[in-house]
Amino acid sequence: MYYLVAIVGAFLLLNLPGVHKPGVKVAPIDTLFVAVSGVSVTGLTPVNISETYSVFGYIVLLIILNIGGIGVMAIGTLLWVVLGKHIGIRERQLIMLDNNREAMSGTVKLILDIVRAILVIEFVGATLLAFYFYQDIHDLKEAILQGVFVSISATTNGGLDITGESLIPYANDYFVQTIVMFLIVLGSIGFPVLLEIKAYIKNRIPNFRFSLFTKVTTVTYLFILIAGVIGILFIEANGVFANESWHKTLFYAMFQSVSTRSAGLQTFDVSQFSDATNLLMGGLMFIGSSPSSVGGGIRTTTFAIMVLFVINYKPNAEKSSIRVFNREIHNQDIQRSFAVFCIAIMMTFIGTFIIMLNEGQHIEFIKIYFEIMSAFGTCGLSTGITSELGSVSKVVLMFLMFVGRVGLISFIIMMSGNREPAKYHFPKERIQIG
């Protein structure tokens, strides 16, 4: 409900006088789409941001991106602390749910650390980019505006841009690409990972040991990122990269693999990629980023648990345990992973089916698939069909963006409600599988 309220608030902000450039009118459904895209930090948009919004509109968009990236409950907690309001058990439960935590202890401190970390990352990124852009633009205000916008869009994995071409104009600028890739990774690898690394560097805790979450999510994140780079290079080696230099193709592949975590920025027009590459990138967006981050998708830990379950599965065993890093994964986490995966498959399938019914006559399947995965993974990459979609298709994408940002665990809890555990059991019977 808080996220729905945030979307309504974002919609109202985007209708304020002076948000749009003079003479520009935007349909209410498109304004709502941009509001949902901003709060869910997706980046899909049916309008051209640079041609539609004024400088004041850019500032409004940055506020919306930060609310969506940091999290509605985190922003609320920050306001409660600033205003001196007592944070009760109910509020702590909501913070715990919003950040995928199992315990309420330390939730307020966690939120304050997260907000502080994101603002520091955004500030450093904006400073580096603004100074660099000033060398080309020679307009301090414009350089600062672009630096701040790119930094916040990358850190929150928002994917919105004010150039009208994403980062394609910087396809040959490896400095800008490297800074942006670092910002995307820091935003999507998971806040607990960043805070544990910070604690390790400061060495405040004697005999410090990284948590299982940090180990699993970091290894999985890096594995998927590298697999994406190799996959894109392999598929497009004789395709769109055929006549490019090795370093340029490497940065193209690296940037797009990083961006599919949930960022949505691009240095290469993804509509030029082959269907095989777009199929691969759709899969990467479906997996998405890490839990307790700015991104969406089924999350890296869900993917890791499912892969580990298949590897460790013993058909004749009563129970198959998953062992990794000298620890065993809790059975409840395994069940949650399968629930998240199954619901995600059903939702993306139904979404693709509905859009195919409405748009299938004039839009290719692969482009619809790509758009669906981009929305669910709150990524924002697009082959350019967003503005061509009808109202029903836009509603489908908005729903997927919303669920992708809120998280499937929260969505499952919302749908199932507070059901009491069964007080009795029926006799068990085996059925044939596979």
Higher-confidence residue of 429 and 91: namely 429
pLDDT in tens, 373-389: 999 998 888 888 888 88
Please, what is the average pLDDT of the chain? 84
pLDDT at 23 over 70: yes
Q: What is the pLDDT of residue 418?
A: 61
The C-alpha atoms of residue 217 and residue 300 are separated, in whole angstroms, by 6
What is the enclosing helix (H) or strand (E) of 256?
A: helix 246-259
| DSSP 3-state of 327 | strand
* Res. 84 pLDDT band, cuts 50 70 90: low
Beta strand 323-324 with 327-328 is antiparallel
293-338 pLDDT, tens digit per residue, is 888 889 999 999 999 888 887 776 666 678 888 888 888 888 888 8
The region of weakest confidence among 62-66, 85-89, 256-260 is 85-89
Region 84-101: mean pLDDT is 59
- Quick check: helix, strand or coil at residue 61? helix
360-374 pLDDT, tens digit each:
888 899 999 999 999
pLDDT tens digits for range 28-57 = 999 999 999 888 888 888 888 888 898 898
Q: What is the mean pLDDT of residues 14-30?
A: 89
- pLDDT for residue 325: 84
DSSP string, 172-235: T-HHHHHHHHHHHHHHHS-HHHHHHHHHHHHT-STT----HHHHHHHHHHHHHHHHHHHHHHHH
Query: Terminus-to-terminus CA distance in the chain, angstroms?
Result: 40
Q: What is the mean pLDDT of residues 168-177?
A: 87
Q: How confident is the model at residue 99 (pLDDT cuts 50, 70, 90)?
A: low
| Dist. CA 219–CA 208, nearest whole Å | 19
Instruction: Report pLDDT for 101.
Output: 56
pLDDT of residue 105: 54
What mean pLDDT comes out for the span 237-264? 88
Predicted TM-score (pTM) of the model is 0.87
Distances (CA, A) of 101 to 32, 93, 145, 374, 393: 30, 9, 36, 26, 34
Quote the pLDDT of residue 206.
66
Judge whether 110 and 99 are in contact, CB under 8 Å.
yes
Q: What is the model's pLDDT at position 178? A: 92
3 state SS of 20: strand
The widest CA-to-CA distance across the chain, in whole angstroms, is 76
pLDDT score, position 80: 57
C-alpha distances in Å from residue 217, one per residue of 46, 366, 377: 33, 29, 17
